[in-house]
Chain A
Amino acid sequence: MAQTGNTVSSTIDARPALGRDFRSLLGALVTLDHITGGLIVAPDGLLIAAQLPGEIAPEPLSALAAILGRELELRGPRLRRGTFPMAQFASGTGIAFLGSTPVGYIVLLGDARADRDTIRSALRAAVGTVHRAWAG
């Protein structure tokens, strides 16, 4: 939790090869303040990487994150097919961020105090890094 969002973003931006090293990529993102965990999941629900609190089972979460990601990817809320770079879903107690990449979805979980702008900025950088690593 020591790194700030900008530091994480800069680190991710500076290392395009990181876009194929999912565990390192996720490891950098979960150091953001008030982020409690995260995972990277393929569009078919396969769990690629996870750093979650012990009480959260990764498999059901990855299955649902992939369904949500695909739903947004295919139709979006307004039925317009295309990419959705990012989405956030808030409950009364916390927030989940979802970023779309060619290999699947990056999910970050945060508590209610999470700074949304900082996290969006870091997640955007991570999504861009994966896109660049997988382009061509």
Chain B
Amino acid sequence: MILARMWHTVRGERRFRTSVQVFRRAKRFRDEGRFEEAAALVASGLLLDPDNVVGHLLAGSLHAMLREMGKARTSFERVLALEPTHPRALLGLARIALEEGDTGACTDLVTRALARYPDFPEAKAVLDVARSLPASAAAKRPRSLEQSAIRADRLRLPAESRETLLARADATLIFAQPRGLRTEEVAARATKLARIASAMLARAGLGDSLNHAVIEGAAETTYLRADGETVLMLSFSGDAKVATALAHLERVWVNCRSELARQAAPNRVA
């Protein structure tokens, strides 16, 4: 009996030591960018020690790196089942919530992480962004076009532009051409992008608001112009010259601002 207990103790200690070593090595591989090797080690480590918090946290991180967000969520939730206030797992879930547009859940999770570990710079940055975005329910609700619509001819849109969209910073659509079923959703997305980009620029020491952005896609390039109140988006085919497109963007932006000012003072002669 005593011998059996000793054997179990020795086995347990050896297993524990081994899994710690495995996860330590996996973390080193992950940090060096050797993700495949890290993932293989984590999988084998979790077979040895299925309730290891570090192992599940590493698994969540590696799934997120491989863009497997469903699996990442499961791993982070497993960590929280074992350690309910683990700040890294809370941050991982908060980031997934933000990706899914659930800013309320993101804010809750990251606030919990900061309650456990107040000096957590990544969590503070994520919280700043989440707080700057509209609440989840409001973001999902389609926002109708403002009553006093801007006249397209006054904006002098470039013929090459495939889509033009003007929205308030709270994602209220002001103008869209063409306008489709998903236009409001695109407006919400554009304003969200502008806010995240502004936050990133601020953290990079480059001022606190986005002026313009150029986003290359597979078939077209999107140009954003923004200030704290309004976001303008134009899209052009991928072969349009950047300098030309930016000149169009700036001209339309000036026209938009002029139209908005004219609407704000309707009695003034245009």
- Residues 80-112 of A at the B interface (beta carbon under 8 Å): 80, 82-96, 103-104, 109
Chain A interface, number of residues (Cβ within 8 angstroms): 53
- Residues 48-97 of A at the B interface (beta carbon under 8 Å): 48, 53, 55-57, 59-68, 70-80, 82-96
Asked if A116 and B242 make an inter-chain contact with CB atoms under 8 angstroms apart, the answer reads: yes
Known: A62-B122, A76-B215, A76-B217. A68 touches B33 (CB 8 A): no
| Chain A CB within 8 A of B135 CB | no
Asked if B122 and A109 make an inter-chain contact with CB atoms under 8 angstroms apart, the answer reads: no
Known: A71-B196, A72-B193, A87-B216. A44 touches B95 (CB 8 A): yes
| Chain B CB within 8 A of A128 CB | no
CB neighbours of B199 from chain A (8 A): 64
| Chain B CB within 8 A of A5 CB | no
Residues of B contacting A: mostly: helix
- Which of A45, A89, A116 lies at the interface centre, i.e. has the most chain B CB atoms within 10 A of its CB? A89
Stretch among B16-24, B60-68, B142-150 lining the A interface: B60-68
Complex alpha-carbon distance, A61 and B222, angstroms: 23
Asked if A44 and B61 make an inter-chain contact with CB atoms under 8 angstroms apart, the answer reads: yes
Known: A79-B185, A91-B209, A96-B206. A45 touches B233 (CB 8 A): no
Which residues of B approach A to under 8 Å, CB–CB? 30-31, 33, 35, 60-61, 64-65, 67, 72, 91-92, 95, 98-99, 121-122, 124-126, 129, 163, 182, 185-186, 189-190, 192-193, 196-201, 203-218, 220, 222, 224, 233, 235, 242
| 22 A-B pairs with C-beta separation under 8 A | A22-B33, A43-B67, A53-B205, A56-B203, A56-B204, A60-B122, A63-B122, A67-B99, A67-B126, A70-B95, A76-B217, A77-B186, A78-B233, A78-B235, A82-B218, A86-B216, A90-B212, A91-B198, A95-B206, A96-B197, A96-B201, A117-B242
